Amino acid sequence: MIKCVLPVLEMSCAVCANNVETTVKKLPGVLSATVNFASENLVLTYDPSAITLEEIAAAVEAAGYGLVISEEEKEKQREAAATRHYKSLRNRVVVAWIFALPLMTISMGCMHTPHIEWLLLLLTLPILLYSGRDFYIHAWKQLQQHSANMDTLVALSTGVAFLFSLAMTLFPQYWNSRGIETHVYYEASGMIIAFVLIGKLMEERAKRNTSSALKSLMNLQPQTALKITEEGPQEVHIATLKRGDRILVRPGEKVAVDGVVVHGESFVDESMINGEPIPAGKAQGDSVLAGTINRDGALTIEAQAVGAQTLLAQIVRQVQEAQGSKAPAQRLADRVSRRFVPTIIILACLTFAGWQCFYSGDNVLAHSLLTAVSVLVIACPCALGLATPTALMVGIGKAAGEHILIKDAVALEKMGQIDCMVLDKTGTLTQGRPEVVDVVWLQPEEQYAAPLVVAEEQSQHPLAKAIAKHWESHAATRSVTIDRYENVSGKGIEFEIQGETLRIGNRTFMTASSIGSDTETRIATWQSEGKSIVFYGNHKGIIAIIAIADKIKESSHEAVARLQQLGIEVYMLTGDDSPTARTVAGAVGISRFKANALPQDKEDFVRTLQGEGKTVAMVGDGINDSQALARADVSIAMGQGTDIAMQVAMVTLMNSDLNLLTRAVVLSRSTMRIVRENLFWAFIYNVVCIPVAAGVLFPVNGWLLNPMWASAAMAFSSVSVVLNSLRLKWK
C-alpha cells in the first residue's frame, strides 16, 4: 500500500470535497481516501498493483474536478493553479460589481421607467455569462454525475430568477392579460453572483492564511545546492541530487540534504527543526539536516537522504496528512453536507408550492419565486463544511510551528480530552544520558585525572563514557600511555601505567576501601538519591569517588506543575529502582510513580488507568516505551528518542522541552473549542435563516428576505467561520 497527499483542483464547497472522496473510495484498490476542503488535499492510501494514480486522476476528472499526481511538480502545479484561480476569481469579482452596482441602483430607483427592463437585461448578461459562468458549468457537470453542490444552488437560484425576468421582458402582454404584473428580478441574479463571488474571494484569502505554517515549513528547503564535481562546485536543482553526492554549504546558506560532514567545521542553526536556540557545533562525522542554516565555516556534506527522504520532507508530509485528516467532530458535518443540497432543493420547491397554495395576495408568483430563490441561496453548506477543517488546519499548522508534530486530527482532538498523563523517566523527565554530578578526590586530581580519562575512553560502559566526557578537556591525557588493560567482569577495569596498577569499579574491587566518616556520609546520601557510585583507586587506597546520575531536565518540574494546573493527573514510570524513582519523582513534583517497570508492566499500568475510566496520554522516547505508547489513548514521543517510538506515537515533540506538553494540551483544547463554535454557528445560521428566507416573518410584519441580501448573508457566514478559525494563530 502507498500513502500520499495529492492536491485537488476545482472544488468550490464542502459538498465538492464529499463528491471527490466518494468517487475515489468507490475505485478498486483504494483502501482509504479523505478530502479536506480547506486544505484542498486528498489523503490517499491505495494498492499500486490494483490501480494507478493516473486511473484515480481520470476518475476525479470525470467527476468534474482535477487531481495533481506529479510528485516533482505537485506543489508547483498547486501553487500555479491556486494563483490562476485567485486571479480569475478576482477579475470576475471586479466585472460582477462593475455591472451589479448600476444594476441594483437602477432597479431600486427607476423600476417604473418604461422599457427599463431591457437596460437591466443588458447589465445582467455580462455578470451571468462571464462572472458567473463557472457556476453553471460546474452545476451541469454535477448533474451529469447525478450529484449536486453549492454551484447547483447558485445556478438554480440565479437561473430561475433570470429566466422568470426574461420571460416577463419578452412577453409582457402574455402576463398582463392573465392579471400578473410584469416585474423583473435581474438585480437578484446579478447581486447573488456578485455577493457569492466576493465571499469566495475573501474565503480564498483567509484560507491561504490557514496554510501559512505549512508554507513556512516548505520554504525551509532550498531549491538549489552547490554540488561538488570534477570541474568544481556547480549549482544544481535539489531534484537532481542523489545519495552519496557531495555538497558544499557556504556560511549563511541552508543545508539542502540530510547528510554527514566530511570536511570542515562550523556551527549550524537547527532551531527551525528542533527549536533549540543555540547553534550546534559540527565537524567531520557529524550529521546535518536539510533546512538548517550554516552559520560560520564552509562545510562539505555527503548526502545520506535527499528530496522526499529528508527529515524536513517527512515533517512537511506528516503535517499535510494531519491537516487533511478528519476529526470525529467532522463526521456529523460531513453526513449533513452530503444530503444538504438535495434537501435544500426540496425545501425550495416546498416553499414555492406553499406560497402558491396559501398566499392569496397580489403577485403570488413573484412572492413564491423570491422566497424559493432566497432559500436556495442562503442555505449554502460552505460554512458547515469549513467549520472543522479550517480550525484543524490552523491548529495543526500552529503546532508544527511550535515544534509539535501531530499525526492526525484524531490525535489533536483527543489531546484536549486527556485527564491522565504517564511520563517515562529516562530521556523524558531526565536528559537520558548519565553525567558526573559530584566527585570527591582523596589523592591529587592533577596526577590521576589523565589516566582515568584514557582508561575510561577504552571502555564501552555507559558510566565510563560519562566519566571520560566530564574530564575530556584535561590537557595531560595526550601524554598518557596504558601498558596493560583488563576488564574484570562484574567489578570494573584494572590497568597499568608506568608500573602503577590502577582500578576503576565498585567498592569491593578496590585494594583498600577505608575512608573518612564525612565521605561515608556523602556516599550514603548519593545512594539514597539513586546516584551511581564509581570508585577509583590504587595500591595506596581510594583515589576518587565519583557520583553519576541522569540529570533532570530544567523544564520537567515546571511542565509537571502546569499539567497539574490543567487538571491532569501525572504519573511516572521507570525501569530504575525505587530510591532513584522516588528521588526523581520528588524533584519534579510527581507523587505517583512505579519503579522497576518492564515494557509489559508499563503497558499494564496504562491499561489499568484506562480501566478506571481515565483518558490516558503516554510520553516516552525508547523502544521499551513502545508497548505503552501503542496502548495509550494519546501517544507522545520525544523527538530525540528512537525512531520506533516516533512511528508509534500520535504526537512528536521535536525538542526536549517538556513545556511543549502543556502547549499541546492547551492548543488542542483551544482548537476543539473553535471547532465547536464554528459548528454551532454554522448549524444555527441555517436553522434560523432558512425559515426567514422562506417567509415565516411575512404574516407577522410583511417582511420578505431579498435574494441578494440572502447571498450576502451566505457569503458572510463562510468568511466568519474561517476568520474565527484564524484566531488560533494569535493565541
Which active-site residues does the annotation give? 424
Rounded to whole angstroms, the Cα distance separating 707 from 192 reads: 7
Residue 690 to residue 105: CA distance in whole angstroms: 27
Distance CA 644, CA 623 (A): 6
2-9 and 592-594: which strand pairing?
unpaired
* Cell numbers for 291: 533546512
Q: Is residue 715 within 8 Å of residue 196, measured between CB atoms?
A: yes
- Quick check: helix, strand or coil at residue 14? helix
- The interaxial angle of helices 382-401 and 311-324, nearest 10 deg, is 150
Record the cell numbers describing residue 343, joined without a space.
434537501
Q: What is the DSSP letter of 8?
A: E
Query: Which residues 6+ apart lie within 8 Å of 410 measured at CB?
Result: 325, 327, 328, 650
Reported as type and span, the H/E element at residue 565 is helix 556-565
162 in Cβ contact with 128 (< 8 Å) = yes
Q: Is the dihedral of CA 127, 131, 136, 137 positive or negative?
A: positive
Give first-to-last CA distance, the chain, whole Å.
39
Query: Residue 351 carries which side chain, given as an amino acid letter?
Result: T
Task: Give, in order, the Cα–Cα distances in Å from 644 to each of 68, 305, 319, 639.
Answer: 32, 19, 19, 11
Distance in angstroms (rounded) separating the CA atoms of residues 174 and 519: 114
Ordered alpha helix ranges (H), 283-363: 311-324, 329-358
CB 570 within 8 A of CB 549: no
Instruction: Give the integer Cα–Cα distance in Å for 42 and 149.
Output: 18
Supply φ then ψ for residue 538, to 5 degrees: -140, -165
Other beta carbons less than 10 A from residue 267's beta carbon: 16
| CA distance linking residue 254 with residue 258, whole number of Å | 11
Query: Which triple of cell numbers denotes residue 136?
Result: 453553471
Q: Could you write out the three-class secondary structure of 579-597?
A: HHHHHHHHHHCCCEEECCC
Q: Residue 122's CB: how many other CB atoms inside 10 A?
A: 12
Rounded to whole angstroms, the Cα distance separating 553 from 558 reads: 10
DSSP string covering 412-453: HHHHTT--EEEEEIIIIIEEEEEEEEEEEESS-HHHHHHHHH
Q: 13 and 150 in contact (C-beta within 8 Å)?
A: yes
500: phi then psi, degrees, rounded to nearest 5: -100, 130
Dihedral (CA of 303, 304, 308, 311) sign: negative
Q: Rounded CA gap, 135 and 141, in Å?
A: 10
Extract the C-alpha cell encoding 201.
474571494
Residue pair 419/664 in contact (Cβ under 8 Å)? The answer is no
Look up cell 578496590; give the residue. Answer: 510
Cβ–Cβ < 8 Å for 70, 77: yes
